Chain A
């Protein structure tokens, strides 16, 4: 039984019921006869810009009495629509790129086939568009430059090229982006990736540029930070005494300025170097120097505190003039200051210029250039009326007020090489005085007097004294020369008397007393002596407090000079009343000349600074 049973079961199993293999195939006409459908999407050309949530209105021209299913598709993602027309809001999940979008209407084929009856045979009406999607936040932008431009400050940043642009916004802050701000400008022109800040008047400012896109109007804008003055000399001001406060403004951008090196452009001033700057504005006290505006350069090593930026070494060179008193920026290399606001300057090579400036209006009034160099010397007469210039074999005399050429004298016929003229002066409107070097060793000179009216030589008198600046006493009995050797010699109109002379070699100035033909004053650094020219005897005088006597004012009241020592002083002294007018602690720079007192109550340095004397 055991052997047979499996075979019996196998046979029986193979004889189990199996369904008939015949099939029921029905012929069905598969023709679909539906007209094309008009599908419209509002404001849609072939390419649709999607820079944020977009509300579309749509319309599909469907047939009545048919059932449809409607949906909007974004690539493979489908969103059902409720009706054949209406509106819907589209917010793409993709953030950037070109994607296929479509409106779809689906209806059964109506053939009556199995697939039709079971909804698996559909007719799809579809219209596609290309969606240009850009919903990404704007890229980080960086201000590329901040630079002065025609009186304004120009701020530039990279052009934003993406199509989702809405605007640039530039905001100027006083401290940082959380503080007060001066303005916020919105620029909707995508190509205008710059801004002129005409309100900038100096100092530090802090700008942030944001790019707004059509989606990102609130938080999340790209920002950039800029500080037009990373670190540098903000301003300098004189503190009465020998120190000057130089304010180093720390950058808002690079907050952690670790080192500041202050370097002076001119001179050998001791400067602080490598000092830490931890306060917003740090004041360095630097010894003040009288006479010349000075420039400081500040170099900083800074670390950024802006997270988006790496730690950065920032080197900034900023300059600021500073001087005891007030700088007069337009002028340097002043030769003479014949009037308040008028300065003869010389560039050292070819031209002399008369520059004019209005201190009342802080306005440059222009420059007139004389086409002359200075081979030996140029002088201005004590009454400030005439400018005399020696330029090789030519002597020029100019009227200071009109700057008209009074005389041009070719002196080549008056001198034979190797002799040369080194000093010049005038005595009245028609008499030219010249000092000619006659000794090859430069030890002796002769005085040449020339009549300008007749262009004839009046006379040449030996045993004169070498000097750059010469003049005659009012009675024509004495001739003074300073600027080389200095002496006053008796001159009788015919001969230079060698036995009558007054040694003024230690004097800076000689001043003939116009009210008394026989009296003369000559000034050394330590004393002023009154001399009787008839007897050459000292008839009076008094001591002066100067270490270096520098100038005598045009009105013959005041002397100006330096008192050396520690501390060092600048002194204005009324030698007629023998009283100090102004005494201030000040450092002097070697080689800087100090010129005339002016009627306006200022003293000017040749390097372009003025100090008001009367406080």
Chain B
């Protein structure tokens, strides 16, 4: 940790010493997620439960994601930086009658960290409105919390709870529109698409400990979000 902190400090010192412009940005949006393997996996489970009418209540729906990034602009043509993304989705199927209850839940959370490159493609209204294209390469660490429970009114049931993880690489491309409202603060919107390489779920630290059908997480899908950036540094690089 000390080495990483020292390296980041040297990088930031270099940036500062170069009299560069820095941008800190956050984004909140909604994304759609593929999760094809997990749908199939869940379908297999439901097939085994088809003795009763299990209802699927959530099936990896679109859900909010959050971004935060720091970039440096080079000659007003290129922004380079690092970014972090948090996104989640899940699954729930349920059945209950007088005799008991059957529940299957999954909660998937992805923590992505990567590098960001963006370049403005149009500037209008005295450069207050900027249209830019951005690309990200993320390392994606996913965790899937399985929760299975069958319980009976007049007798013991069974529960199963385990968290599996996966690793993958995610490419994200987006178009942004931002408008400087006051000082260095810019508000905007983003639309993009993520492509996930997919990561097989396994027990943490034991990559061989996978489910029988070896389902993978897949965070591929549309991303639509709102952004807020703050630009540091008045004397920009000429």
Contact in complex: A26, B86 (CB < 8 Å): no
Contact in complex: A23, B98 (CB < 8 Å): no
Contact in complex: A24, B53 (CB < 8 Å): yes
Residue of A whose beta carbon sits closest to that of B53: A26
| Interface stretch of the complex, out of A113-121, A185-193, A342-350, A539-547 | A113-121
Nearest Cβ on chain B to A272's Cβ, whole angstroms = 84
Residue A201 at the B interface, CB < 8 A?
no
Nearest Cβ on chain A to B94's Cβ, whole angstroms = 5
Top 3 closest pairs, chain A to chain B, by CB: A115-B99, A24-B55, A19-B92
Residue B97 at the A interface, CB < 8 A?
yes
From B24, B92, B150, B155, residue with most partner A Cβ within 10 Å: B92
Residue A93 at the B interface, CB < 8 A?
no
Residue of A whose beta carbon sits closest to that of B67: A12
CB contacts under 8 Å to B, within A1-33, are 1, 8-9, 12-13, 15-20, 22-28, 30
| Interface stretch of the complex, out of B103-111, B112-120, B162-170, B173-181 | B103-111
User: Contact partner of A19 among B51, B91, B154, B155, CB < 8 A?
Assistant: B91
Interfacial chain A residues near B92, Cβ < 8 Å:
19-20
Nearest Cβ on chain B to A28's Cβ, whole angstroms = 4
Residue of B whose beta carbon sits closest to that of A114: B100
Nearest Cβ on chain B to A225's Cβ, whole angstroms = 59
A106-125: contact bitstring with B at CB < 8 Å (1 yes, 0 no)?
A: 00000101111110110000
Count, chain B residues at interface, CB 8 A: 39
Residues of A with Cβ closer than 8 Å to B?
Answer: 1, 8-9, 12-13, 15-20, 22-28, 30, 111, 113-118, 120-121
A-B contact pairs, 22 of them (CB 8 A): A9-B86, A12-B66, A16-B86, A16-B88, A17-B109, A19-B91, A20-B92, A23-B57, A24-B57, A24-B96, A25-B97, A26-B96, A28-B97, A113-B97, A113-B100, A114-B95, A114-B102, A115-B155, A117-B51, A117-B52, A120-B152, A121-B154
Interfacial chain B residues near A113, Cβ < 8 Å:
97-100
- Describe A's contact surface by its main secondary structure: loop
Contact in complex: B152, A115 (CB < 8 Å): yes
Interfacial chain B residues near A9, Cβ < 8 Å:
86
Contact in complex: A19, B90 (CB < 8 Å): yes
Contact in complex: B98, A16 (CB < 8 Å): no
Q: In the complex, A15 Cα to B109 Cα: how many Å?
A: 11
User: Contact partner of A16 among B52, B57, B68, B109, CB < 8 A?
Assistant: B109
User: Contact partner of A17 among B66, B89, B100, CB < 8 A?
Assistant: B89
- A28-B99 contact, Cβ under 8 Å, with A15-B66, A114-B152, A117-B52: yes
Q: In the complex, A28 Cα to B97 Cα: how many Å?
A: 6
Q: In the complex, A12 Cα to B98 Cα: how many Å?
A: 38
- A26-B95 contact, Cβ under 8 Å, with A114-B152, A117-B51, A120-B152: yes
Residue B101 at the A interface, CB < 8 A?
yes
Contact in complex: B90, A17 (CB < 8 Å): yes
Q: In the complex, A25 Cα to B57 Cα: how many Å?
A: 12
Contact in complex: B57, A19 (CB < 8 Å): yes
Q: In the complex, A18 Cα to B66 Cα: how many Å?
A: 16
Interfacial chain A residues near B94, Cβ < 8 Å:
22-24
B117-137: contact bitstring with A at CB < 8 Å (1 yes, 0 no)?
A: 000000000000000000000
Residue B63 at the A interface, CB < 8 A?
yes
Q: In the complex, A16 Cα to B86 Cα: how many Å?
A: 9
Contact in complex: A26, B52 (CB < 8 Å): yes
Interfacial chain A residues near B54, Cβ < 8 Å:
24
Contact in complex: A114, B96 (CB < 8 Å): yes
Q: In the complex, A19 Cα to B60 Cα: how many Å?
A: 10
Q: In the complex, A171 Cα to B94 Cα: how many Å?
A: 78
Residue of A whose beta carbon sits closest to that of B55: A24
Residue of A whose beta carbon sits closest to that of B105: A19
B24-55: contact bitstring with A at CB < 8 Å (1 yes, 0 no)?
A: 10100000000000000000000000011111
Residue of B whose beta carbon sits closest to that of A29: B98
From A12, A19, A113, residue with most partner B Cβ within 10 Å: A19
Contact in complex: B107, A20 (CB < 8 Å): no
Residue B153 at the A interface, CB < 8 A?
yes
Nearest Cβ on chain B to A505's Cβ, whole angstroms = 122
Contact in complex: A18, B57 (CB < 8 Å): no
Interfacial chain A residues near B90, Cβ < 8 Å:
17-19
Contact in complex: A17, B88 (CB < 8 Å): yes
CB contacts under 8 Å to A, within B41-85, are 51-55, 57-58, 61, 63-64, 66, 68
From A16, A22, A116, residue with most partner B Cβ within 10 Å: A16
Residue of B whose beta carbon sits closest to that of A115: B99
Contact in complex: A20, B58 (CB < 8 Å): yes
From A12, A24, A30, A121, residue with most partner B Cβ within 10 Å: A24
User: Contact partner of A12 among B86, B91, B99, B108, CB < 8 A?
Assistant: B86
Interfacial chain B residues near A8, Cβ < 8 Å:
26, 66, 68
Interfacial chain B residues near A30, Cβ < 8 Å:
98-99
Interfacial chain B residues near A121, Cβ < 8 Å:
99, 152, 154
Q: In the complex, A113 Cα to B52 Cα: how many Å?
A: 8
Contact in complex: A26, B68 (CB < 8 Å): no
